Structure 1
């Protein structure tokens, strides 16, 4: 979490604590697996806390442009549903390093009229998201 000071420049400690809380919740969402299939998750209009997290997407290929879009849509939807403090959420797939088995995504959103950018790395070997600078 120390690296988050570099990601967010905020004038007050209270605001920093809020952003740390949001980032922690985003990581909890992204690193928890939903009981729904990927198709069911994307097609459901309403999801409850029973469906918290992301569905398994281990069958997606990061080399496929279509699968990258599906991954971004899934991440966007899960954050829209389970992190209500953020709005206007956009997730962009920026890079895939097949040697490191890492996919880099950028999460852009709005919190109380402030733009927020959280850079994420998906560790393919573990299917785990982390925040990076």
Structure 2
């Protein structure tokens, strides 16, 4: 019996699949959910009505707790809205106060391969830049 991965993804090249993953992560992370951060994090199940991540405009990049909230929200959004990425773990790397950029790394598995997703959060616009790398 063929695996579903082969049936659904067999005709596409890996490059196209990684581009698709990157595009979908970009859509998820740059769409704002109507839920607040606390409601988003505490929700057991997120339907497509709440697609995206909550607004982070009230978070401070100098607060350890706010950085944790940011990472938890990103992880929850990816787990709920990009189910091709498995074993997701999000880590806050650093914040450049001059550039107003936060660097965040997402680790996971995609098509049985380990992937690293490098995120740059442009805090001035609250916009994520996404770069997917196969390990």
Shorter-chain TM-score category?
0.7 to 0.9
Runs of at least 4 residues off by over 6 Å:
none
The residue number in structure 2 matching 1:39 is 38
What is the rounded CA distance, in whole Å, between the counterparts of 1:94 and 1:86 in structure 2?
A: 20
Question: In the alignment, does 2:24 pair up with 1:21?
Answer: no
The residue number in structure 2 matching 1:9 is none
TM superposition shift of 1:131: 2.5
Query: Is the Cα–Cα contact under 8 Å of residues 25 and 130 in structure 2 kept in the other structure?
Result: no
Higher radius of gyration, 1 or 2 = 2
TM superposition shift of 1:97: 0.3
- Count of residue pairs the alignment pairs up: 121
The residue number in structure 1 matching 2:123 is 124
Normalising by structure 2, we get a TM-score of 0.86
What secondary structure is seen at the aligned counterpart in 1 of 2:98?
A: coil
The residue number in structure 1 matching 2:69 is 70
RMSD: 1.3
Normalising by structure 1, we get a TM-score of 0.88
The residue number in structure 2 matching 1:100 is 99
- Structure 1 stretches lacking a partner, 5+ long: 1-12
What is the rounded CA distance, in whole Å, between the counterparts of 2:117 and 2:90 in structure 1?
A: 10
What is the rounded CA distance, in whole Å, between the counterparts of 2:79 and 2:20 in structure 1?
A: 16
